[in-house]
Structure 1
Amino acid sequence: MMMLTIKHETIYRYTEELTYTIQQLRLTPRPEEHQRTLDWNITSSGVRHPFHDAFGNLSHMLTITGRHNEVRIIAEGSIAVTPLFLGRLPQSGADSPLVFTVATPLTQASPTIIEFAHRHVSRGANSDDLVRLAQAICSAVAYQSGSTLVTSSADDALRLGQGVCQDHAHLFLACCHVVGIPACYVSGYIDPGNSDHAESHAWVDVWVAEPDFSGWISIDVTHACFASEAYCRLAIGRDYDSAAPVRGVRRGGGEETLSVSVQVAATITGS
């Protein structure tokens, strides 16, 4: 078992005063069989109302009224995570896997993606096939921080040949949709170890039907491997937009500057 100690600080600063801010926060780890929250706290100004979104993510609606020129949100705590065998998630969830066969603007399959998908994956793919798809995506889209925007689509990243973890996840989802494999986007945190990849991370869950297992497996596309105890799951969705840790709108404010800091420390513990 691994204990992940996490601190995630998000700061929006504005050149002019705002009169109203509303943010949807998906900053609370999902209660899942293989990950257990030991302690967790969200700190912010304004008022937070908890709710569960359409995909079962524990979320908060943050509203701030009155004049302000900064929004600071801190989420921190500790999570105990049990290793996953071959990325297999121990629970299937309440929704039908078919919920995650629907494309979005970020995961829409262009002709280029359709051709790429048919070269690298087919209906009925097993776990090893899906890891090979992740490897093909990493070869086609090199990891390059700052090369894309949160509005960039899977097709944008494939044409550019560069992207970050969310682009890898979007392209993987698009390829799965082409051949009818259910797959969903996962946002969360990772102990980066010796890599230079950010602690805030995105990966995918994919539905497989194998002789000894039928259900969701979790794959880190960026590292072309199964996700396991080094990962803390915050939210699932159809793409970044439906699983983003922080999204919102404001009234006023002029120009915006965003600063995000994420620290993850890992400790191996007993079972």
Structure 2
Amino acid sequence: MQLNIRHETRYTYSLPLAYTIQQLHLTPRVEAQQHVLSWQLSTPGHVHAYTDAYGNLSHMMTMDTPHQALSIVASGVIETTAPDRGRLPNGDTLSPLIFTVPTRLTAPTPAILELAASCLPDGRAATRDLMCLAEHIFGAVRYQSGATGVETTASAALALGEGVCQDHAHLFLACCHAHGIPARYVSGYIDPENSDHAASHAWVDAWADDKDYSGWVSIDVTHARLMTDAYCRLAIGRDYDGAAPVRGVRRGGGVESLSVDVQIVPQ
């Protein structure tokens, strides 16, 4: 499948800013199941390209002249193939064990431990166990746009019973980490088809131990299904903080207004 993607992030401010710095994960990862046919990243200011510790193609954007608005546009065409049963070739140099450490957003609570115990064995899990967990989370936290924010923890989303894709991902990670099972956050895009879900998406990779396979399996918790060719992967990390498409700080500016427009057209 080919996905024609355009992603614009626009900030406007009530007062001029003196300085802005943004970390961008807006370039698709180099992976076996996706191939970049064309890609452009348009930003103001100074841009420095680098590869981060997780192998994500990243950019650091800075603006040190007065400004009251800025727009970041990423666009291009990605050719994707569906991984067999969600399985990803493990070309990583990092040990999967680094993805067993809880974070501020994925810290376990008694309710999370109870949810994890309903599906997962300790130390390792088969794909069927991981899918069982995704289905339980799908039932426990109803998808509701705007119900939570980027600072919402897994435990808060579970208590609320509502959330979005990043909450589903964080809750899945929290459950896996509580049982010593490697799992990592994935940010990217999905062809939303006819659903009301956003085209900018978050899901997970988890380490599966099946009879015929041991390695990463990519799971969309929000839809309780394995990753298909409808997905484009931008970045991986321990949680949202490490893999967010756009994340930064500013000096000045007063009140901030943010608008995000993502369009995906399958070809």
Q: TM-score range by the shorter chain?
A: over 0.9
Q: How does 1:125-164 map to 2 (within 5 A)?
A: 125-164=125-164
* Alpha-carbon distance, 1:91 to partner: 2.9
- Whichever residue aligns with residue 6 of structure 2, its letter is K
Q: In 1, Cα distance between the equivalents of 2:63 and 2:199?
A: 28
* Alpha-carbon distance, 1:92 to partner: 3.9
Instruction: Between 41-50 and 87-96, report the one with greater CA deviation.
Output: 87-96
* Alpha-carbon distance, 1:120 to partner: 2.3
- Residues 20-46 of structure 1 show CA distances to partners (whole Å, capped at 9, x for unaligned) of 100000000000011100010000110
Q: How does 1:34-49 map to 2 (within 5 A)?
A: 34-49=33-48
Q: In 2, Cα distance between the equivalents of 1:136 and 1:92?
A: 30
Say whether the 8 Å CA contact 1:24–1:62 is kept in structure 2.
Answer: yes
Q: How does 1:44-55 map to 2 (within 5 A)?
A: 44-55=43-54
Partner SS for 2:104: coil
Task: Give 1:202's aligned residue.
Answer: 202
* Alpha-carbon distance, 1:249 to partner: 0.5
* Alpha-carbon distance, 1:90 to partner: 2.2
Partner SS for 1:66: coil
Work out whether 1:79 is the aligned partner of 2:78.
yes
Q: In 1, Cα distance between the equivalents of 2:178 and 2:168?
A: 16
Say whether the 8 Å CA contact 2:125–2:207 is kept in structure 1.
Answer: no
- Residues 144-164 of structure 1 show CA distances to partners (whole Å, capped at 9, x for unaligned) of 000001000000000000000
- Whichever residue aligns with residue 111 of structure 1, its letter is P
Instruction: Between 87-96 and 248-257, report the one with greater CA deviation.
Output: 87-96
Q: In 2, Cα distance between the equivalents of 1:262 and 1:18?
A: 26
Work out whether 1:216 is the aligned partner of 2:249.
no
Unaligned runs of 5+ in 1: none
Task: Give 1:178's aligned residue.
Answer: 178
- Residues 124-152 of structure 1 show CA distances to partners (whole Å, capped at 9, x for unaligned) of 32111111110100110000000001000
Q: In 2, Cα distance between the equivalents of 1:158 and 1:33?
A: 34
Partner SS for 1:259: strand
Say whether the 8 Å CA contact 1:92–1:216 is kept in structure 2.
Answer: no
- Whichever residue aligns with residue 181 of structure 2, its letter is I
Q: In 2, Cα distance between the equivalents of 1:128 and 1:193?
A: 26
Work out whether 1:239 is the aligned partner of 2:242.
no
* Alpha-carbon distance, 1:63 to partner: 0.4
* Alpha-carbon distance, 1:105 to partner: 0.4
- How many residues are paired up? 266
Work out whether 1:257 is the aligned partner of 2:254.
no
Task: Give 2:9's aligned residue.
Answer: 10
* Alpha-carbon distance, 1:122 to partner: 1.7
Q: In 1, Cα distance between the equivalents of 2:177 and 2:65?
A: 45
Partner SS for 2:118: helix
Partner SS for 1:117: helix
* Alpha-carbon distance, 1:210 to partner: 1.6
Q: In 2, Cα distance between the equivalents of 1:40 and 1:173?
A: 30
Q: In 1, Cα distance between the equivalents of 2:216 and 2:115?
A: 23
Q: In 1, Cα distance between the equivalents of 2:194 and 2:135?
A: 20
Q: In 1, Cα distance between the equivalents of 2:106 and 2:201?
A: 18
* Alpha-carbon distance, 1:212 to partner: 1.2
Say whether the 8 Å CA contact 1:92–1:215 is kept in structure 2.
Answer: no
Q: Which aligned runs of 4 or more in structure 1 are off by greater than 2 angstroms?
A: none
Say whether the 8 Å CA contact 1:153–1:170 is kept in structure 2.
Answer: yes
Partner SS for 1:174: helix
Unaligned runs of 5+ in 2: none
- Give the RMSD, CA atoms, in angstroms: 0.8
- Whichever residue aligns with residue 251 of structure 1, its letter is R
- Residues 32-70 of structure 1 show CA distances to partners (whole Å, capped at 9, x for unaligned) of 011100010000110110011111101000001111000
* Alpha-carbon distance, 1:82 to partner: 1.1
